[in-house]
Amino acid sequence: MTVKAQRLLEEADVVLHDKLPGPEILGQIPEEKREDVGKRAGGEWTPQEYTNKRLVELAREGKTVVRLKGGDPFVFGRGGEEAEHLASEGIPFEVVPGITSAIGGPAVAGIPVTHRDHASSVSFVTGHEDPTKEESAVNWEALAATGGTIVVLMGVGKLPDYTKALRSAGMNPETPVALVERATWPNMRVATGNLEDIVDVRDEYDIEPPAITVIGEVAGTRERVLEFLRNESESETEPESQTGTER
C-alpha cells in the first residue's frame, strides 16, 4: 500500500472495499467505517450497479469516501467504469494507483515477469471476461506467437480452456507455468508445472481464486531462486519456516 493510500484510509468517513485487500489492511479500518461491496468467484457477489450508486449516494451526503480495491484499480479492477460513473454524476474524485497483482504476485513468488534471458515483453490478460460477450476478445493465438510472459488474472476456473488454446496455437507444452494463490497473504501458496500438466497440478493442490497464472520461461527461474534461498536458510542456525505449496 502506498503512503498516500494509507493516509486517505485514515481520513475517510466510509471505505467501500472488495474482498481482496488483506486482513492486515482491513483490520486497520474501524468496522463502522467499512462496507463490503466485493465479489468472489462462485460466492458472495455485489452488483456493480449497486456499488456505483452507493459511491454517489455517500458523496452527495458530504462524506469522504475511499473505494478500496486489491492491487491497482485500473488493471482488471473495474476502476475505470466506476470513474466514468462518478464523472457522469459530477462527483469529484482522484485515483490513487496501487501495485497490480499481475506484477507484485509473481514477484513475491520469486518470478520476474521480464528477464534479460527469457522475456522482453509481458502480456496481461483477464481470465474472466464479461459473460455477456458472444465470444472472447482475447487472441490466444497471437499471444502464443508473441512470446514473452503471459500473466492471467482471475483465470483459475478457465485454466483448462486457455492452456489448451495456447497449445493449439503452437506454444510448447513444456512451457513453465506457475499458479500463485493469495499472493503476499500469510497463507500464500505457489504451485508450478507446465502448459501440459498445470490443470492436474491445480486440481492436485486445490488451487482456488484469487490466484494468478504466470506462463513463460520466467516461471522456470523460480526453482533456481528457491534453491538459493534454501541454501541460505540452511546456513542459519534456526531458519524460519515458510508457508507455501512447492511442486
69, 72, 154, 158: which one is catalytic? 154
Residue 13 appears among annotated catalytic residues: no
**So what's the pLDDT on residue 24?**
86
Long-range contacts from 193-199, C-beta under 8 angstroms, 24+ separation = 193/247, 195/163, 195/166, 195/167, 195/171, 196/167, 198/159, 198/163, 199/159, 199/160, 199/163
Residue 200 appears among annotated catalytic residues: no
CATH topology of domain 101-227: 3.30.950
| Contact residues for 175 (Cβ-Cβ < 8 A; gap 6+) | 166, 194, 195, 215, 216, 217
CA distance 156 to 180: 10
**So what's the pLDDT on residue 186?**
86
Q: Are 69 and 79 in contact (CB under 8 A)?
A: yes
Residue whose C-alpha is closest to residue 7's, from 92, 91, 52, 64: 64
What is the secondary structure of 10-69 as a DSSP string? HH-SEEEE-S-S-HHHHTTS-GGGEEE--B-TTS-B--HHHHHHHHHHHHHTT--EEEE-
Residue 39 appears among annotated catalytic residues: yes
**So what's the pLDDT on residue 230?**
67
Residue whose C-alpha is closest to residue 111's, from 242, 245, 219, 229: 219
**So what's the pLDDT on residue 244?**
46
Q: For each of the chain's 247 residues, which pLDDT tens digit applies?
A: 899 999 999 999 999 999 888 888 899 999 999 999 987 665 568 899 999 999 999 999 999 999 999 889 999 989 999 999 999 999 999 999 999 999 999 999 999 999 999 999 999 999 876 656 666 788 999 999 998 999 999 999 999 999 999 999 999 999 999 999 999 888 999 999 999 999 999 999 999 999 999 999 999 988 877 777 666 666 654 433 334 455 5
CATH topology of domain 3-88: Cobalt-precorrin-4 Transmethylase; domain 1 (3.40.1010)
Provide the pairing of β-strand 122-126 with 65-68: unpaired
> CATH 3.40.1010.10 in the chain, residues?
3-88
